[in-house]
Amino acid sequence: MDVVDVVVIGGGQSGLAAGYHLRRLGLGFVILDAQPTPGGAWQRAWDSLHLFSPAAYSSLPGHLMPPQPGETYPDAGHVVSYLTDYEQRYELPVIRPVRVAGVRRDGELLRVETDSGTWRAGAVISATGTWSRPFVPAVPGRTEFQGAQLHTVEYRSPADFAGQRVIVVGGGNSGAQIAADLAHDTQLTWCALREPRYLADDIDGRALFDHATARRRALDEGRIDTGGVASLGDIVAVPPVRAARDAGLLKAQPMFDRLTPSGVVWADGTTAAADAIIWCTGFRPALAHLAPLGLRGPRGHIPTDGTQAIGEPRLHLLGYGDWTGPASATLIGVGRPAREAAREIAAFLGRSR
Ligand code: FAD
């Protein structure tokens, strides 16, 4: 059984950002990642997915993402290359594939049990993301529908649905982007719980990050909460979404009431036949490995103060969503909470430099 200062669980962007700061502070650590290859969830993106920010605004601490030739907004493959290079550049000790099954208290240490052995650590950073926990709402009739049902994570390209009747569910960024992707080659119906709210066309991830930064500053200084990025709208009008919307191809319908064997039915009795339904209905944090610690709060999250779990000071959570730090689930936003987590752990272990 290996003993280290810190075990980082998850080798996506959040785990790497944590590793960067742990290394700078001179802590001994390993990063355990369930994927066989680097890149975290970006390896699972659909073919046409591009970032909603330019490369320089999508960078982890220490090393700017290089621009992708010919693309203002890099694609997912470019992000995978960047993350691969990042972990090599900083010689981050990522061990893969290793899946963590459980984290338990073990005297003064935490015990990390995996499918490839056990580690004991003075502290644990959990950075397991959300993509392994796709969420599909419990709509009546879901099991009766005879066509294909996919979640965002399983969608690849419009070629798989050419000429088909496809219903895309979800009024967020994934729903809008996948609907735009399918708008030309399929008979598309796009359903959302409420009328889609586009951010202004000139707002991309840069402005979102600036907004999150201003909010954090306001909160830090005890000023009035300016509201999360959600207050600006739900959908970044990236070029393909804007083009499909402006061509009149992205008209959202209200959410249907239930599924039937051949399609969907709205409350007023209107029906639509479908060959496939694509659920772009979000994700939940992948926290099952932390269940033995008994820390889950009422919303399924683990309550934190910054990144530190309130019920277990040796545990930090990184990424996941704004509840672990403003913009913490973005490439550029995770750097700051990663630094704070590393510093707090160093202080906790009495290893501050
Ligand atoms: P992940 O990338 O999911 O990495 C977690 C890693 O942990 C994975 O490798 C996983 O296999 C591993 N893991 C999980 N469970 C275990 C376990 N039990 N044991 C060991 N390993 C485990 N952000 C931006 O900055 N710009 C964008 O343009 C952008 N676009 C997005 C578009 C979409 C459709 C989505 C869904 C998100 C987007 N994001 C964007 C948000 C964010 O950058 C990603 O969700 C990002 O993947 C989160 O990184 P992470 O490291 O926290 O998690």
The Cα angle at residue 88 between residues 87 and 91, in degrees rounded to 5: 85
d(C-alpha 152, C-alpha 281), whole Å? 8
CA–centroid distance, 43 to ligand 1, in Å, is 9
Map tokens 């103060």 to a residue.
305
d(C-alpha 62, C-alpha 13), whole Å? 13
Q: What is the pLDDT of residue 214?
A: 72
Q: Whose CA is nearest to atom 45 of ligand 1?
A: 329
Residue pLDDT, tens place only, 19-77:
999 999 999 999 999 999 999 999 999 999 999 889 999 999 999 999 999 998 899 99
Q: What is the pLDDT of residue 327?
A: 85
Spell out the alpha helix ranges (H) of the chain.
Answer: 13-24, 76-89, 173-182, 205-220, 239-246, 335-348
Atom of ligand 1 at shortest range from CA of 333 = 25
Two structure tokens written together for 51: 């970032």
CA–centroid distance, 159 to ligand 1, in Å, is 25
Q: How many residues does the chain have?
A: 353
CA–centroid distance, 329 to ligand 1, in Å, is 7
CA–centroid distance, 108 to ligand 1, in Å, is 30
Nearest to 127 by CA among 27, 2, 24, 31: 31
Q: What is the pLDDT of residue 326?
A: 84
Atom of ligand 1 at shortest range from CA of 100 = 19
Per-residue pLDDT band at 232 (split at 50, 70, 90): low
What are the pocket residues of ligand 1 if the criterion is a CB atom closer than 6 Å to any ligand atom?
Answer: 9-15, 32-35, 40-42, 51-53, 58, 99-100, 127-129, 131-132, 174, 205, 286, 289, 319, 329-331
Per-residue pLDDT band at 297 (split at 50, 70, 90): confident
Ligand 1 pocket test, pick from 131, 153, 284, 320 with the greatest ligand atom count within 8 Å of Cβ, gives 131
CA–centroid distance, 316 to ligand 1, in Å, is 17
Ligand 1 pocket test, pick from 174, 331, 332, 334 with the greatest ligand atom count within 8 Å of Cβ, gives 331
Residue pLDDT, tens place only, 69-98:
999 889 999 999 999 999 999 999 999 999
Q: What is the mean pLDDT of the chain?
A: 93
Two structure tokens written together for 212: 């999150």
Q: Whose CA is nearest to atom 53 of ligand 1?
A: 129
Q: Where are the beta strands (DSSP E) in 91-249?
A: 94-95, 100-106, 109-114, 117-126, 148-151, 165-169, 187-192
d(C-alpha 76, C-alpha 39), whole Å? 9
Nearest to 206 by CA among 45, 59, 47: 59
Q: Whose CA is nearest to atom 6 of ligand 1?
A: 10
Contacting residues for 107 by C-beta, under 8 A, at least 6 apart: none
Given a cut of 90, whether residue 299 has pLDDT beyond it is no
| Single pTM value for the model | 0.93
d(C-alpha 255, C-alpha 197), whole Å? 15
Domains of the chain: 2-132+283-352 (3.50.50.60), 148-198+234-279 (3.50.50.60)
Per-residue pLDDT band at 285 (split at 50, 70, 90): very high
Q: Work out the average pLDDT over 193-222.
A: 76
Given a cut of 70, whether residue 225 has pLDDT beyond it is no
Two structure tokens written together for 229: 């990025």
